Amino acid sequence: MADQFEEMKRKLLNMYEEKIAEYQALAAGLRRDLGEDSGEGGIRKPEIIPPTVRGAALDINELVRPGDFFGMTQVQAMQEFLQRTNRTPASLQELSQAMFRGKAIDAPIEGPDKLRNLSSLLSKTDIFFSVARGRWGLSEWYPNKTKTKRPPKAGTPDEEKKSAEQGS
């Protein structure tokens, strides 16, 4: 029995060493294509790129513990979450995931229509500022920027009210 177990370990070790050799050959080829020095051992520590440079997603699990936003409104939860991001704007998906993890909402907001509704909610308050398409920050981070209000569409109740006021 012990011999069989040791044989299995040897096969597993051999399989892992073959994979390592395969990955080292792939990495060496990529380094060569990029014009980089292959180094002595062929294994290098990966380069760490800051999230703001590579545009990586925020780590929701690191920033929000389950229940952090329980009892808060969606606006309050999103504001609290953005305050934790160290001035890094968040995508609509990240805001949804943070609210769900923090228990401000019962289910994540998914799908283009529901995310559009979330974007609409953000745009209706002066607390949030649209930094780029689908990315939001806090207005306080951008003191020299002002939100532009779109005029109401023709035929909407707001437009009819405005026309009636001007006509009187």
Which residue shows structure tokens 């925020």?
A: 58
Eight-state DSSP code of residue 103: T
Residues 62 and 34 both lie in one domain: no
Which domain, by its residues, includes 65? 56-141
Q: What is the CATH number of the domain that holds 127?
A: 1.10.10
Residues 82 and 120 both lie in one domain: yes
Residues 38 and 64 both lie in one domain: no
Give me the number of domains the chain comprises: 2
CA distance 84 to 114: 24
Per-residue pLDDT, 45: 56
pTM above 0.85, yes or no: no
Q: Do residues 158 and 114 lie in contact, with contact meaning Cβ atoms separated by under 8 Å?
A: no
CA distance 124 to 143: 18
CA distance 67 to 74: 13
Per-residue pLDDT of the chain (168 residues; tens, 9 = 90+): 778 888 888 888 888 888 888 888 887 777 777 777 655 555 665 544 344 433 457 889 899 999 999 999 999 999 999 999 999 999 999 999 999 999 999 988 888 889 889 999 999 999 999 988 889 999 999 888 776 666 666 665 555 555 555 554
Per-residue pLDDT, 35: 77
Residues 39 and 60 both lie in one domain: no
Can you read off the two tokens belonging to residue 99?
């609210």
Residue 153, domain member (yes or no): no
Distance of CA 123 to the CA centre of its chain: 19
Per-residue pLDDT, 83: 95
